[in-house]
Every structure is written in C-alpha cells, then in structure tokens.
C-alpha cells in the first residue's frame, strides 16, 4: 500500500499557529486539543490523499489543489494541499468561513 510523505509548508504552519493563538484567547485547553487534532487530520493524508475532493482554488490557480475538512459547523477548517508522485504538500489551513484563496467579495456576486 502506497504511503505519501506529508510536508506541511511554512504558510500552512503559520496558518495553524495563528488559529491556535486565536482559539487560545478563549480557551487554552481547546486550542491545544484543536492543534493536536488538526495535525492528526493532516497525518491521515499519508494514505489515499486523492480521496479528497478538489478545492475551489484549483480553478483560480490552474493547479490541482485538494482539500480535507477538519472540524464541524462553525469550527470547520479547510486543509489545502497538492499531491505529487510521492509527496503531499499542505499549502494552507483556512477557517471555513473565509473566502477561498484568490477570491474577493466582488467575485462572489
């Protein structure tokens, strides 16, 4: 069974750190739990990363960007990544309420 090497790129690491700090403003324990669980979701990409659907960003960037969703309801985060021969590159982690990368308010109309 093929296993991919998962690489969390610096922008994604920064996204995760910022989100953790934001959550910690309300609840440090919840922030630590979220941090552990988001990396667990990212770790699941070692197996069958192509099971995840294409993200809307694929159209904007003319690149096959996939996403896996972590969390539920208003606590959803989209983990954006690309898949190459043997590697998964996690590019960004975005709160589900945020616009897609490359999208503006006027482009949604």
Task: Give yes or no for residue 1 having a pLDDT over 70.
Answer: yes
34-65 pLDDT tens trace: 999 999 999 999 999 999 999 988 888 878 99
Assess contact for 66 and 82: CB atoms under 8 A. yes
What is the spatial order of strands in the sheet that 87-95 belongs to?
A: 5-8, 87-95, 77-83, 66-70
Domain count, the chain: 1
Q: Which domain holds residue 95?
A: 5-108
Residue 95 banded pLDDT, cuts 50, 70, 90:
confident
Classify 55 as helix, strand or coil: coil
Task: Give yes or no for residue 96 having a pLDDT over 80.
Answer: no
> Hey, which residues does 66 pair with through a beta bridge?
54, 81
Alpha carbon 69 to chain centroid, angstroms = 7
Alpha carbon 77 to chain centroid, angstroms = 6
CATH number at residue 39: 3.30.2310.20
């Amino acid at each position: 069974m093929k296993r991919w090497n998962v690489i969390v790129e610096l922008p994604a690491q920064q996204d995760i750190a910022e989100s953790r700090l934001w959550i910690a403003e309300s609840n440090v324990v919840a922030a630590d739990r979220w941090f552990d669980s988001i990396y667990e979701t990212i770790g699941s990409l070692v197996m069958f990363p192509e099971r995840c659907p294409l993200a809307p960003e694929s159209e904007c960037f003319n690149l096959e960007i996939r996403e896996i969703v972590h969390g539920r309801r208003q606590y959803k985060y989209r983990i954006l990544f690309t898949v190459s021969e043997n590697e998964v590159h996690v590019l960004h982690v975005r709160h589900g309420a945020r616009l897609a990368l490359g999208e503006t308010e006027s482009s949604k109309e």
